[in-house]
Structure 1
Amino acid sequence: MQNKIGVPVVIILVLFVIYMTFESIKPFEEVIQEIETDTEEVFLEEQLETNYEAENFSLFLPAEFEVEEESISNLILKKENQTYILFYNALETATSRLNFEAASQMESPLLLTSFSDDERFGYIKIAQLEEKEYQLEIGVGGVKITTISEKNRLENDALEMMQMANSIAYTDN
């Protein structure tokens, strides 16, 4: 009886290892293309309900994210051992291109693309810092979130960051 159960489990594990091996050797250009497509999809989705209230705004904060520090225009976020910096400018509208224009000044990013609809303007920028480190920047209007990411985390980081940037709800003070 144990052999009948053990063989399928071993086969499933071997197939999983093979799949993960192929996923990890996926061409980086393909990874970048998937990140661009998936990030645009998140941008176009309906705004997530906020679950964190800051002094001047509220936002959706994905699970595992913690606010380490808060100031008038910044949040320093942590997820495991990774730091994310969220900058918000309440003077800029959701259609502002200011952060995108600043991001456009960098020479030769691996990816710099923008998305827009009738009410918002967003973008993503990925730049290589070192062999396995990438600067990831996501923006929507006057909101910009940056982090340093590794290749295997880039897509997930981009999606979570776009969810946060997309969810900012300004409060009147």
Structure 2
Amino acid sequence: MRNISKAALLLFTVVLLLSACSASLKEEQKAAKDAVNEAFKGTPKEANNKNEDIAFYLPFGVEVKETSPNNIILKNGSKTYILFYNQHEGPESKVVYEATMKQKKYDLNEIFEKDQHFGFLLIKNTDKNMNEMTIGAGGVKITSQSKTKQLSSDAAIMSEIVHSVTMK
């Protein structure tokens, strides 16, 4: 009986330490918001990729996996991103945001506005450590699944991409 108590105490201590060491969802959501805000207020990266409708920047390691009308599937190792664009909507448009908001309820909904540009960050916690994150600007959005501890780093990458998109 004494060994069981020691084992239970040890297990409890390990769980407590591990949970204390990992970033909380709220902390990572705030860091993701800061990353998106920084990209939104900064100068967009210069495009290094294009298709017939748009030009866009892809960070090192991110590549085009598949294209279809208005969608580009991007890969970075095992990570998949879906880049959607509506070439008929300008940088101030809220159409993509409003349509995305109708699809589900999000745990985090942040809006960014600057000089006739509209942007947004949406995060839906889907599992204990997984989230669906969508970042948009005008008629463009990018969506991916992200572990809670990677929300801010994924947000930085996704923001660079979405804010670099220019319509042809």
1:24 is displaced (CA, Å) by: 4.3
Contact kept, 8 Å, 1:55 with 1:72, in 2: the verdict is no
Please say which of residues 32-41 and 103-112 is displaced more in the overlay.
103-112
* Distance (whole Å) between structure 1 residues aligned to residue 77 and residue 34 of structure 2: 26
Output one character per residue of 1:4-43: Cα deviation in whole Å (capped at 9) or x when no partner.
xxxxxxxxxxxxxxxxx79842332122112112211111
Output one character per residue of 1:82-128: Cα deviation in whole Å (capped at 9) or x when no partner.
11100100011111111221233355422111101113100000001
TM-score, normalised on structure 2?
Answer: 0.83
Contact kept, 8 Å, 2:28 with 2:149, in 1: the verdict is no
Output one character per residue of 1:31-84: Cα deviation in whole Å (capped at 9) or x when no partner.
211211221111110111111121211101111101001122110001111111
1:32 aligns with 2:40: no
**Higher relative contact order, structure no. (Cα contacts within 8 Å, ≥ 6 residues apart):** 2
Match for 1:115: what amino acid?
Answer: F
Match for 2:86: what amino acid?
Answer: N
Matched pairs, number: 151
Q: Name the residue aligned to 2:12.
A: none
Match for 2:106: what amino acid?
Answer: P
TM-score, normalised on structure 1?
Answer: 0.81
Match of 1:146 among 143, 147, 150: 143
Structure 2 SS opposite 1:137: strand
Please say which of residues 104-113 and 77-86 is displaced more in the overlay.
104-113
Match for 1:159: what amino acid?
Answer: A
Q: Name the residue aligned to 2:107.
A: 110
Output one character per residue of 1:110-164: Cα deviation in whole Å (capped at 9) or x when no partner.
2111101113100000001122211010100000110111112211111111111
* Distance (whole Å) between structure 1 residues aligned to residue 20 and residue 59 of structure 2: 25
Structure 1 SS opposite 2:126: strand
CA RMSD of aligned residues (A): 1.8
Gaps of 5+ in 1: 1-20
Gaps of 5+ in 2: 1-17
Identity of counterpart residues, as a percentage?
31
